[in-house]
Structure 1
Amino acid sequence: MSNETISGGKKLLYSPKRQLELDIAKGLAVLCMIAVHVQSNLSKTEIIYSGFGGIIEFLGTLPAAPVFMFLLGTGAVYSRNNNLTKNIERGVKILILGYILNILRTIIIFLPLIVSGEWKNQIDNIIPSLITVDILQFAGLAIIFIGFIKKLELSIPKIIALAVAISSINYIMISFQTKSYFLGAITGVLWGSSEWSSFPFITWIFYPLIGYCFGIVLKNAISKEDFYKKSLLYSVIILVSLIVVSIYFKIDSGLLTETSYAHHTLFNNFLYTSFVVAWISCLYYISKISPLYLNNMLARWSKNVNSIYIIHWILISILIAVVGLNKLGFFVAMMAVTIICIASDMIAQNYKKMNLAIRKQ
């Protein structure tokens, strides 16, 4: 059943149901994520630095992680779970799951060296692999933080001010770097204190907070059509303006290196967010003409995103252990992307069915 009805010639939005364009955005983010992870870990260097590789790298940035985090905030608006304790429990579980995944990836990737006893020669790679701050660690903290925001019932202006204030701290903290594994494992969760801190809190919390505000406005919109017309118009104007400013003043876009992307600043927060809003607005219109089977597949990926994320990393880790880092040619790498997408989807679906069956017993 559609979540829209016709009134006065306009489509009216009713809030309790999932929004297809948001699911499609998250589903496409899953595809972009898998593609860029396969490329960076399995594709040959010459492919990574080719024109096609550049496209994959871009798709693995703005349409991926910022979209995930933005929609984490938006999804909190539509969630019926307003219990702070449950949000804290869920956040802690995902945070811990992030470090469990680190351990699994490390064991799988370095298994041949562990078996041969040569793992000691790779200790400088093994330790960062174990303590890296990845998207699950950040997502766990973000869920807890958004839980407090919901509990406090802060207004949109206050939430935006809070997002700007936290991200502004990054200009100060980014200068405090460490080479200590132990210290980096702690501080890297909060800010980009080391190169193995991929999603530090004060850099990335901007997206869930603004996504939460976006969700509130969307949920209360009288006309979904009008809402997305305005969102698309304003976001494109802001996006183009910020691109011009960044070029004119030679401001780092955060897209040149993995570190600059992971540790980007407040200016880039606004730049990336304007892209995300424009992207989601475009997908609203695309969802009207895209095939039903494609919409259903992407929506399914959206619902199973946590499972798919873990599964796809395990599959990539197995391939690294078997064939090595950056050994695949173009066509084999594309086959790997396709197979990993299909396998992750199927395993995630079966895992979900198994969980439901266990709960019914």
Structure 2
Amino acid sequence: MEVKTKNKKRIDTIDLVRGVSVLLMIPVHVMIVYSTMDTWNNTLLGEIIQVAERGTPMFLVVMGLSFVFSGKLSMLEIGFRGIKILALGYLLNITRFIIPMVMFGGFPDDFVKANGLTPGDPQNYVFYTLLGDILQLAGISLIIMGIIIKIIKNKYAALILAVLIMLTSRAVSGFRFDIVGIDYLCDLLWAKSYNVYFPVFPWMSFILIGLFFGMWYKEQNYNIRFMFGKMLPFGLGMLLFGGALCYMNYDYHFGDYYHLGPGGTIVLMGVNLLLIWLGNIVVKYINPTLFSVISYASKNVTSFYFIQWVVIYWGILYVGYSQQSNQLKIVAIMILITLITFTVLWFINKIKEILKQKRSEQSSEKQIAIK
């Protein structure tokens, strides 16, 4: 089926920014896991990767945009999607942490201690299984959106909810009831410790901002120039306003990257809106071969994310944790892990295609037999 030009351009832009954010994950994660702190803080490569890290929330903004394009889903369908992604997040934890701990002798002691844990403690299995990451954020956010979808009928409802989450993120950060189980749910919502890296407060606000622009785009009869044109002033305004807040009180408004305050969230949101706006300009100049790689990563975002984390963490058993200081060697590791991830992804998709074809053939044979 032929795709209309305006839809194709929209898809290309979304594929570009999402694909780039996905591809940036590997360099960022390799540096976080393998490089020494000195290399992270005091080298050119470390500075470049720290800048790249600030662009990874593009994935969340695009998730909100894509929500509008995915068709009219019921509350149950949205909630079920959220549960599936949430389950995948815990499967990822088991695959990247628990399997190496059980089958391959476990991680180095310095890795375990870096997480504030004691080597050999059985509670470590619980910690790593329940670790909150971006898939937990995406799953819970979808479940919440499934519950409140009737409220978010207007783009300004999405915007107001995003602002409320941003403004209250620091106030509720770390709040608990001191009840086992309930406290873990609180951590998933607004943790300030590293058992949850992407709590809903404030990170869901990125998804809601994407939803806001997606709904605006739909209101304007899918006018892509209008939507991306609005991202420019919004992005600049957020960058300046959030930057001013962080300048006045950096610890409160930014703190650490994973547990942001209001100002830090606004700054990063501004940065990412500007990057998406820039992506809409750049997409027309990208070499088709390069774009096909980026688009492939974008269309397989969840599988790509899953595979690269497994490869990186299993790699600790061979490369060590926070041991690498040679920048060229780190770049070589980034390239190697990228190639391994794409290779594994290709094989998985190939197997899926073969199984799908076999099911189709079996279905056709049954229909012929019935006739």
CA distance in 2, matches of 1:90, 1:317: 27
1:122 corresponds to: 120
2:274 corresponds to: 278
1:199 corresponds to: 198
Matches within 5 A, 1:68-83: 68-80=59-71, 82-83=73-74
Could you state the TM-score of these two structures normalised by the residue count of structure 1? 0.85
Query: Aligned-pair distance for 1:83?
Result: 2.9
Query: Aligned-pair distance for 1:269?
Result: 2.5
Residues 243 and 263 in structure 2, CA contact (< 8 A), matched pair in contact too = no
Amino acid across the alignment from 2:70: S
* Secondary structure in 2 matching 1:19: helix
Query: Taking structure 1 as reference, are residues 115 and 143 closer, same or farther at Cα in structure 2, changes over 3 Å only?
Result: closer
Deviations 1:164-218, CA, capped at 9 Å, x for gaps: 2234332332153699986653321111153211111122111111111111223
Residues 131 and 196 in structure 2, CA contact (< 8 A), matched pair in contact too = yes
Query: Aligned-pair distance for 1:132?
Result: 1.0
Query: Taking structure 1 as reference, are residues 358 and 81 closer, same or farther at Cα in structure 2, changes over 3 Å only?
Result: farther
Matches within 5 A, 1:301-312: 301-312=297-308
Gaps of 5+ in 2: 113-117, 360-371
1:144 corresponds to: 143
CA distance in 2, matches of 1:115, 1:40: 16
Query: Aligned-pair distance for 1:265?
Result: 2.1
1:300 corresponds to: 296
Residues 132 and 185 in structure 1, CA contact (< 8 A), matched pair in contact too = no
Residues 178 and 193 in structure 1, CA contact (< 8 A), matched pair in contact too = no
Query: Taking structure 1 as reference, are residues 178 and 312 closer, same or farther at Cα in structure 2, changes over 3 Å only?
Result: farther
2:40 corresponds to: 48
Matches within 5 A, 1:55-70: 55-60=48-53, 62-64=54-56, 66-70=57-61
CA distance in 2, matches of 1:251, 1:112: 42
CA distance in 1, matches of 2:332, 2:178: 38
2:31 corresponds to: 39
The alignment status of 1:88 with 2:79, answered yes or no, reads yes
Query: Taking structure 1 as reference, are residues 253 and 344 closer, same or farther at Cα in structure 2, changes over 3 Å only?
Result: farther
CA distance in 2, matches of 1:39, 1:104: 21
Query: Taking structure 1 as reference, are residues 301 and 255 closer, same or farther at Cα in structure 2, changes over 3 Å only?
Result: farther
Query: Taking structure 1 as reference, are residues 181 and 341 closer, same or farther at Cα in structure 2, changes over 3 Å only?
Result: farther
- Which segment drifts farther, 119-128 or 322-331? 119-128
Residues 35 and 337 in structure 1, CA contact (< 8 A), matched pair in contact too = yes
Residues 167 and 206 in structure 1, CA contact (< 8 A), matched pair in contact too = yes
CA distance in 2, matches of 1:55, 1:284: 23
CA distance in 2, matches of 1:316, 1:63: 20
The alignment status of 1:314 with 2:310, answered yes or no, reads yes
The alignment status of 1:341 with 2:332, answered yes or no, reads no
Deviations 1:91-149, CA, capped at 9 Å, x for gaps: 11110111111112213443443599xx9833265543222111111111122233345
Amino acid across the alignment from 1:95: L
- Which segment drifts farther, 139-148 or 98-107? 139-148
* Secondary structure in 2 matching 1:82: coil
* Secondary structure in 2 matching 1:264: coil
Amino acid across the alignment from 1:71: V
Residues 128 and 181 in structure 1, CA contact (< 8 A), matched pair in contact too = no
CA distance in 2, matches of 1:196, 1:189: 9
Aligned residue pairs, count: 344
Matches within 5 A, 1:132-211: 132-176=131-175, 185-211=184-210
1:7 corresponds to: none
CA distance in 2, matches of 1:230, 1:115: 47
Amino acid across the alignment from 1:333: I
Gaps of 5+ in 1: 5-12
Could you state the TM-score of these two structures normalised by the residue count of structure 2? 0.82
Query: Aligned-pair distance for 1:253?
Result: 8.1
* Secondary structure in 2 matching 1:121: coil
CA distance in 2, matches of 1:144, 1:233: 31
CA distance in 2, matches of 1:93, 1:70: 20
Query: Taking structure 1 as reference, are residues 122 and 330 closer, same or farther at Cα in structure 2, changes over 3 Å only?
Result: farther
CA distance in 2, matches of 1:255, 1:47: 23
Query: Aligned-pair distance for 1:85?
Result: 2.0
1:8 corresponds to: none
2:16 corresponds to: 24
Deviations 1:322-358, CA, capped at 9 Å, x for gaps: 2221223322221121122222123223322322332
Give the superposed CA RMSD.
Answer: 2.9
